[in-house]
A and B are shown apart, each in its own frame.
Chain A
Amino acid sequence: MRFDVWSMRVKVLRARWLGPLCLASLAALPLGCASAPPPRQLIDARAAYNEARLGKAAELAPAELHLAKVSLNAAEQAFQDDPESAETYTLSYVALRTAELVKVQADTKQHKANLDQAQRELDRLEAEEISRTRSELLRTRSELASERQAREAAEAREHDALQKLAQAAALSVREEPRGTVIVLPGSVLFTSGEWQLTSEAQQKLGLIADTLRPQAKTHEIVVEGHTDSKGTPSSNQVLSENRARAVMDYLVLRGVPATAITSVGIGQMRPVADNATSEGRANNRRVEIIIKPSEAR
C-alpha cells in the first residue's frame, strides 16, 4: 500500500519533471519485483543510458541508442529472473559499456560535423585566396605591360626626335655603348682657337636643347670637348674644357636642367681621324654630346 502511494506520487512527478526523474523512476520500477538490490553496474547502466538518451545521441546516433536500449533491457530481464546471478552482473556490465559507447559515438559524430564544416570553410577561404591572387597577378601583369609600352613609346619618340634633329641640323648621331652621341664639328661651332659660339652654332644648339630637354628628365647628359694635335697638349686641354663648358652653358641657357648635364675637356687625347691631314684635323676638332643610357633600363 505504501509502495502504491509512492509510485503514484512518482507518476505525478514524472509528468512534470520527466527528464530529471527518469533515473529515479527507472531505479524504482524493479524494486517492486526483486528483493535484492540491483548491482552497481545496472544502476550505472541505467544512468548512462538516460544520459545518452537525453543528450545528443537521440539525434546523432539513434540506431546506436536503440542497441543500448536492447542491451539495458536484457540486463533488466536477467535482474528480474535472478538478481544475483553472474549473468545479471555481466549483462549489466555490458549494458553500461554499451550506453557509454553510444555517448562516445554521438560525440564523435559531433566532432565529424564540426570537421566537415571547418573543411567547407577552408575550401571556401582557399578558393577566395586563389581568385584574389589570380586577379592581383593579372593586374600586376597588365600594369607591367602598359609600363613597358609607355617606355617603348617614349624611347621611340626620343629616337625619332634625334633623327629629325640630325637631318635638320646636318649632324651626325650615333648609337654607342656609352649612349647616344651627337657629334658637332668644331668648325661649325667656333672660330679657330676661340670658345665663343658662332651664331650658326647657337641656332643648332637651340634645336639640340629642344630635343634634350625632355630626355634630361631620365638621362644624364655629358658634353665632351676634343681638339686636334696642333699646339701643346696643355693648351689643347684648356681649349677643349672651355669649349665644352661653353656648349653646356648655352644648353642650360636654353632650358636643359643644369643638374642633368656636365662638361669635360678631353684635349687631343681621343682623335677620331688622322692629325696629319687637314681633313683629319678638322674631324678631330669637335664637341660630342652624349645622352647616357637611362639607369632604370
Chain B
Amino acid sequence: MTRAMQMRWRKGAWALGAIWGSAALLAACGGGAPPSERLVNAEAAIRGAIEINANAAPPRAALHLQLAQEQVDKAKRYIADGQHQRAELALRQAQADAELAIALARNEEMKQRAESARSKVDRLRSGRPL
C-alpha cells in the first residue's frame, strides 16, 4: 500500500465517521431544538407551587407537586441525552401537575378562609364574644 493510498483511506474513514456521527445525533435529538422554554415554564410553575406551600397541604397538592418535580428531573436527563421529543412530553406532564398542585393549594386556603369566616359569623350570631 502506497503512502498516497493510505492517506486517501484515512480521509474516507473520517468522512464516513462524520456522516455516521451526525446521523446518530439527529436520530437522538428526535428532531428540533431542546425544549428550553417549556423547561423554564415548568420550573417556574413548581417554584410557584412551593411558594404557596403546595408541598405542605393538602396531600393531593403535595403529590402532584412531587410528580411535576420528578418529570422535570426526567426531562433534564432526556435533554442531556439529546432526546428532545421525550423531554418535551415529560415537561408538558410536569406543567399540568404543577398547575394542578397550585390550584389545590389555593383551594385549600380559600376553603379555610371561608370556614373561619363562617364560624366567626356563627359565634357572633350566638352572642358569644369573638
Would you call A86 an interface residue if the criterion is a C-beta within 8 Å of the partner chain's C-beta atoms? yes
Distance in angstroms from A42 CB to nearest chain B CB is 14
Pick the contact of B110: A87, A100, A108 (CB < 8 A): A108
Chain A residues in 8 Å Cβ range of B113: 111, 115
Contact B121 A112 (CB under 8 A): no
Which of chain B's residues have a CB closer than 8 A to the CB of A112?
110, 114
From A101, A111, A126, contact of B111 by CB (8 A): A111
Q: What is the 8 Å Cβ interface bit string for chain A, positions 19-32, against chain B (1 contact, 0 not)?
A: 00000000000000
Task: Please tell me if the beta carbons of B89 and A114 are within 8 angstroms of each other in the complex.
Answer: no
Q: Which one, B85, B93, B114, contacts A111 given CB within 8 A?
A: B114
Whether A97 and B89, one on each chain, are in contact in the complex, defined by CB atoms closer than 8 angstroms, is: no
Is the pair A101, B100 in contact by a Cβ cutoff of 8 Å? Answer: yes
Complex CA gap A91/B100 in Å reads 15
* A97 x B99 contact (CB < 8 A): yes
- Beyond A86-B89, A108-B110, A111-B110, is A118–B96 a contact (Cβ under 8 Å)? no
How many residues from A make CB contacts under 8 Å with B? Answer: 26
Whether A115 touches B96, Cβ cut-off 8 Å, given contacts A108-B106, A108-B107, A125-B121, is: no
Interface status of B92 (Cβ within 8 A of chain A)? yes
Q: Tell me whether A79 is interfacial, beta carbon within 8 Å.
A: no
CB distance from B73 to the nearest CB of A (A): 16
Task: Choose among A86, A108, A111, A129 the residue that contacts B103 (Cβ–Cβ < 8 A).
Answer: A108
Q: Does A93 contact B (CB under 8 A)?
A: yes
- Whether B114 lies near A94 (C-beta < 8 A) is no
| A147 located at the interface, meaning its Cβ lies under 8 Å from any Cβ of chain B in the complex | no
Known contacts A86-B89, A118-B121, A122-B121; decide if A100 and B114 are in contact (CB<8 Å).
Answer: no
A207 to chain B, nearest CB (A): 58
Within residues 106 to 130 of chain B, which ones have a CB less than 8 A from any CB in chain A?
106-107, 110-111, 113-114, 117-118, 120-121, 124-125
Contacts of A94 in B (CB 8 A): 92-93, 95-96
With contacts A97-B96, A105-B107, A126-B124 known, what are 8 further pairs, Cβ within 8 A? A91-B92, A94-B95, A94-B96, A97-B97, A97-B99, A100-B100, A114-B114, A118-B117
Q: Which A residues are closer than 8 A to B by beta carbons?
A: 86-87, 89-91, 93-94, 97-98, 100-101, 104-105, 107-108, 111-112, 114-115, 118-119, 121-122, 125-126, 129
Instruction: Enumerate 5 A-B pairs (CB-CB under 8 Å) in ascending A order.
Output: A97-B93, A107-B107, A112-B114, A114-B117, A118-B118
